[in-house]
Amino acid sequence: MTRIAIVGGGISGLAAAFAIEEQRRSSGAKLDYVLYEASPRMGGVLRTELIDGCLVEAGPDSFVTEKPWAADLCRAVGLGDQLIGSNDADRKTYILVRGRLVVMPDGLMFMVPTKILPTGLSPLFSWKTKLRMTQELFHPPRSADHDESVAAFVERHYGTEMVDRLADPLLSGVYGGEAANLSVRAVLPRFAEMEREHGSLGRAMLAARKKMAGSRKTAPPLFTSLKNGMQSLAETIVARLNPSSLQTDTTVHAVHPEAEGWTVSAGLESDQFDAVIIALPAQAAAGVLHPAAPELAAELAAVQYSSSITVGLGYDFDVRQSLPPGFGFLVPRSEKRQLLAATFVHNKFPHRAPDDRALLRCFFASQNAENVWSRSDDHIVGIVRNELQQILGLHAEPLFARVYRWKSAMAQYGVGHLERLERIDRLREKLPGLALAGNGYRGIGVPDCVRSGRGAAALLMKSPAVLRS
Ligand SMILES: Cc1cc2nc3c(=O)[nH]c(=O)nc-3n(C[C@H](O)[C@H](O)[C@H](O)COP(=O)(O)OP(=O)(O)OC[C@H]3O[C@@H](n4cnc5c(N)ncnc54)[C@H](O)[C@@H]3O)c2cc1C
């Protein structure tokens, strides 16, 4: 019997466990696995609550449709008919500029303008930035020999205002981090590639749009989610796994390579396995690997993480009617607020709130989250309400408010991240039967985590450590 341990019951670990379970069932292979989860529940940051008829997402609320791995997993576990798309016909995002909400102009692909008129007329950018956008079309191809920050990259193309008003707020919503600290090669690889090939991002995007228009396909919704919330994915996977393989409330302290496999130590117990998947945030992975592989642990510990807080607020019909149309707003750091973003959830997805309710999801991260971390939930809700009052003129008392804190849950891919991954891979290869999965490596979003979990399982099932047993 081949035994595989999986450490961490977030979506990365669950995806790995499901891949092993599928293999066990389809091939009849003599495979056994144990999934260790420190907390009482599986799912990690995937958590959904139903409050007053509203589906409140504490962690991720959806995933980008363009990356297929999460939707594929939903279909594989039988949730295909539960997949829902964002209401893109109502898509509109605002940016707070000097205290006022300004709508993002049509045709912006991330921060790259592809439609001249809406961008030219938009009050989001100064004339100086608009001039830079025109000049950018003549940017020569450039093959950089080193990584740089997203802020430096965007500034070279469009200037500092674009960093402040778009690149930084857009990335804060995804990574909870600052454009000045994130690696362009790791976070925006397509843009780095476009610069290498075309020089101008504007021209590259226009060429890509033209190609897509030729194919006449209707664009799929930008975001995908599940009718009953993201937690339903974790719950459904758990229901497909072998119940005796699941160990909640069990913190793994260390994993050790032995002559013939691995020892996993959890609490006062140790167990033997042929292989181990560590599906933890990289810094937590460093903790369990440190005694056995200090050099690898040091590289893992160097992947930075930020903490974040989401606040779900429910309101009545009057508020729903008074809110602006669209998906919500982003707040540039230069506005000096605590909030980084707010989503009008009732507009973004169907099935999230009854017709007579408004559901808002507010987001703090990084330093803004640290600033309020130790304060009470009431205090944090007070800050949110105060800012919503100033930004939206929203005075109404919420029907409910929930605060969710996520300590060091979002990876920050710093400059040089891809080189660090190469070092991590080399060090990991020296430890046969070890695989890593999670958001610290090649993508922080749910689809990337699913891919990493399934990839880790596939790697081990082909490894000599597993095949020989
Ligand atoms: C607030 C927030 C909003 C997000 N929004 C989106 C979004 O809208 N779309 C999107 O695609 N992505 C989003 N993300 C990112 C994405 O959700 C995460 O990157 C992904 O879910 C991480 O999954 P994971 O399994 O790698 O890690 P986690 O979910 O962190 O799971 C790790 C698990 O390991 C357990 N654990 C830790 N240490 C040990 C140990 N020693 N022994 C045993 N178990 C241990 C933990 O208890 C936890 O359950 C968001 C993230 C956050 C925090």
Write out pLDDT tens, residues 201-253: 999 998 887 777 766 667 889 999 999 999 999 999 999 999 999 999 999 99
Structure tokens belonging to residue 161:
């205002």
More confident: 72 or 461: 72
Residue type, 468: R
Question: Per residue in 5-44, pLDDT tens?
Answer: 999 999 999 999 999 999 999 888 789 999 999 999 999 9
Taking every pair of Cα atoms in the chain, the longest distance, rounded to a whole number of angstroms, is 68
In the structure, how many helices (H) and strands (E) does the chain have? Answer: 20, 22
CA nearest neighbour of 11 among 186, 219, 236, 210? 236
Q: Which pLDDT value is given to residue 288?
A: 98
Long-range contacts of 153-160, Cβ-Cβ distance < 8 Å, separation of 24 or more: 153/184, 153/188, 153/191, 153/192, 153/195, 154/111, 154/179, 157/132, 157/195, 157/200, 157/201, 158/111, 158/129, 158/132, 158/133, 159/128, 159/129, 159/132
The protein residue with its alpha carbon nearest to ligand 1, atom 15, reads 445
CA nearest neighbour of 57 among 465, 361, 394, 467? 361
Residue type, 7: V
The protein residue with its alpha carbon nearest to ligand 1, atom 29, reads 44
Average pLDDT over residues 324-333: 96
Which of 45, 49, 65, 362 has most ligand 1 atoms within 8 Å of its beta carbon, as the pocket-test mutant? 45
List % helix, strand, coil for the chain (3-state, nearest 5). 45, 25, 30
| CB of 60 closer than 6 angstroms to any ligand 1 atom | yes
DSSP assignment string, 310-337: EEEEEEEHHHHHHSPSSSEEE--GGG--
Residue 45 pLDDT class (50, 70, 90 cuts): very high
Average pLDDT over residues 419-430: 97
Question: Per residue in 250-276, pLDDT tens?
Answer: 999 999 999 889 999 998 899 999 999
Structure tokens belonging to residue 315:
């309101």
Q: Which pLDDT value is given to residue 469?
A: 63
More confident: 343 or 116: 343
The H-assigned helical ranges of 45-115 are 69-76
Which range has the worst mean pLDDT, 3-7, 50-54, 347-351, 360-364? 347-351
Q: Which atom of ligand 1 is nearest the CA belonging to 411?
A: 19
Residue type, 238: V
| CB of 229 closer than 6 angstroms to any ligand 1 atom | no
Percentage of the chain with pLDDT > 70? 98
Structure tokens belonging to residue 305:
């993480």
Sheet strands (E) in 111-222:
112-113
The protein residue with its alpha carbon nearest to ligand 1, atom 14, reads 60
Backbone angles phi, psi at 278, to 5 degrees: -100, 110
| d(CA 44, ligand 1 centre) in Å | 5
pTM: 0.96
Q: Which pLDDT value is given to residue 115?
A: 87
Half-sphere exposure of 233 (CA within 13 A, CB side): 38
CA nearest neighbour of 262 among 252, 251, 272? 272
CA nearest neighbour of 97 among 126, 57, 63, 73? 126
| d(CA 167, ligand 1 centre) in Å | 24
Q: Which pLDDT value is given to residue 468?
A: 67
Residue 109 pLDDT class (50, 70, 90 cuts): confident
Average pLDDT over residues 311-326: 97
CA nearest neighbour of 400 among 318, 341, 320, 315? 315
| CB of 62 closer than 6 angstroms to any ligand 1 atom | yes
Q: Which pLDDT value is given to residue 236?
A: 98
Q: What is the distance, to the nearest Å, from the Cα of residue 16 to the centroid of all Cα atoms in its chain? A: 18
More confident: 245 or 90: 245
Mean pLDDT of the chain: 95
User: How many residues are given for the chain?
Assistant: 469
| CB of 308 closer than 6 angstroms to any ligand 1 atom | yes
Residue 463 pLDDT class (50, 70, 90 cuts): confident
Structure tokens belonging to residue 248:
């909640």
Long-range contacts of 452-456, Cβ-Cβ distance < 8 Å, separation of 24 or more: 452/12, 452/15, 452/279, 453/11, 453/12, 453/13, 453/14, 453/15, 453/16, 453/17, 453/19, 453/277, 453/279, 454/15, 454/16, 454/18, 454/19, 454/69, 454/73, 456/12, 456/16, 456/277, 456/279
Q: Which pLDDT value is given to residue 384?
A: 98
The protein residue with its alpha carbon nearest to ligand 1, atom 12, reads 445
| CB of 443 closer than 6 angstroms to any ligand 1 atom | no
Q: Which pLDDT value is given to residue 214?
A: 67
Q: Which pLDDT value is given to residue 180?
A: 96
Residue 308 pLDDT class (50, 70, 90 cuts): very high
Q: Is the pLDDT of residue 346 over 70?
A: yes
Q: Is the pLDDT of residue 464 over 90?
A: no
Structure tokens belonging to residue 118:
């809406």
Q: Which pLDDT value is given to residue 260?
A: 86
Residue 309 pLDDT class (50, 70, 90 cuts): very high
Gap between the Cα atoms of 221 and 464, Å rounded: 42
Q: Which pLDDT value is given to residue 27?
A: 83
CA nearest neighbour of 322 among 394, 215, 240? 394
